[in-house]
Every structure is written in C-alpha cells, then in structure tokens.
Amino acid sequence: MIVRSAAINVMTAAARKAARGLLRDFGEVEQLQVSKKGPGDFVSAADHRVEKVLRQELKKARPEYGFLLEEGGVVEGIDRHNVWIIDPLDGTTNFLHGIPHFAISIGLVRDGEPIAGVVYQPLTDEMFWAEKGQGSFVNERRLRVSARRRLDESVIATGIPHHGRPEPELFLKQLARVMDATAGIRRFGSAALDLAYVAAGRYEGFWEIGLKPWDIAAGIILVREAGGYVSEIDGGHDMLSSGNVLAANDHLHLPLGSLLRSSI
C-alpha cells in the first residue's frame, strides 16, 4: 500500500480542486479573457483563477511557507526555507488553442532544492507526484525511467523557441545533432509534462533552454525519484536559476548531454 505524506496530500488535493474550474474553462475557451505578457506569452483568466485556488489551499495548510507564482510573483513567507513554486497552467498556449495537453504544476522547494512535486494532467486524470526519498508515482503506480541504453532507439522531448525566446540558432544546432542520433523528437508544449513523461519512461530524455522555475520545479523531483538524472545542459545543477535543463534516464544522460554540448 502506498502511503502519501501530509505534504503530498495537501498538494494533490489543491491540484484537484483547482482543476475543476480549469476543465470548465477548457470547454469554454473561446469565451476566456486573454492578455499578452510578452512576445509569444499569453495569460488567460483561467491562469489567474487556478493560481488563486492553489494559493488559498496551500496557504491554509502551510501558512508559514512562501510562494513563487507564475502570475503573482514572489510572496515572502515567515518560513524562509520552504517555498511553493507554482505554475497554474503549464501549456497555456495549448489550452487557448483547444489542444488537450496542459497541466497544473506544484513544486515544494526547501533551501533551493526541490523536495516534493505534483504535476496534474486533468483531462487524463493523471496525477504525477514524488517526494524526496519516497519514489515517483502516477496515481497509485510506481514510476521508473526508461531502461533503453541506445540513443538511436530513444525518443527525446524538447521545447522549440518561439517569438521572444532566446537563442533559436543554438536550438537549431542542437536539434540537428539530436535528430541525427535518435529515433524521434517530440514537442508538445508543456515542460512540466515533458519531465513527468521522462519519469514515466515515455520519453528517454528531455532538454530545453530558457525555462522558468515554475516550469520545472515539480518535474525535477519526479525524474530524480524515478531513477533519472537532471542537470543543466553544461552539467551544472542550478537549473532553477539558469532555466537550462537536461533530463534523461541513467544510461543516456551523459551521451545526450555530450551531443548537446557539441552543438555549442
């Protein structure tokens, strides 16, 4: 029997509660109020509503913790060691175009290290969750990263830079190298789900540059607890600050990293 900690119970309950309105909004996406944050970046009324519910539920359970919110920014807590990092709707562009691939992401970071994470895909009712030292799961099933050892048998996920995102030339060089070495590349538009899918063994690896902490905080712990490795592309470990991420199973993290670095 799987025993969830109090923190995971709080996070999963908050995600499920927030998802009710998100599912309703997805059915009425044409009526949603939408604004632009920056080049190629959109925010909808759904983002704000979900973030409000998540913040209320998590604050009720852990009133002393701080927040780093995609829409609401930094909210200092009395406890300076623990911070909730939240993306209320990872995959907003998919959501606004009626593409059924988006998620709620909640990470709990302690002294700069992700220690628990939840990524909830409401349309499929897949609750990915993990806690440091306790393993990684989807609903009640234990997750393990893929066991494939060869890049030419592997499917790798990525994010393609869009208008306003950095370094498209570098990405195209990386893409050419990975295309030539692997069985396929996928780009579905949600970094949180890309990392969850690496944890689930659906992809062998994932890389992207220019991400934000709320895109990856939960996914980092999911991959690690499923037996995978997560680092910066250059091998560093400050992903939350740099936004550059390479995640893969234990066999392919080094060769995939070498391939990407050879593009620089």
Where along the chain do its domains lie? Answer: 6-142, 151-261
- 151-261: which CATH topology? D-Maltodextrin-Binding Protein; domain 2 (3.40.190)
Q: Mind listing the pLDDT tens digit for each residue in 36-56?
A: 555 445 567 788 899 999 999
pLDDT in tens, 123-171: 999 999 999 999 999 999 999 999 999 999 999 999 998 766 667 888 9
pLDDT at 40: 46
**113 backbone φψ class: left, alpha, beta (φ>0; ψ -120 to 50):** beta
| Residue type (1 letter), 169 | E
**What does the block give as tokens for 237?**
């470990």
Q: What is the pLDDT of residues 210-260, one digit of tens each?
A: 999 999 999 999 999 999 999 999 999 999 999 999 999 999 999 999 999
Average pLDDT of every residue of the chain: 92
Place of tokens 């950095």: 166
**Hey, which CATH number is domain 6-142, 2.40.40.20, 3.90.1150.10, 3.40.50.10140, 3.30.540.10?**
3.30.540.10
Contacts of 162 (CB under 8 A, 6+ apart): 40
How does DSSP assign 58-70, residue by residue?
Answer: HHHH-TTEEEEET
Res. 185: pLDDT tops 60: yes
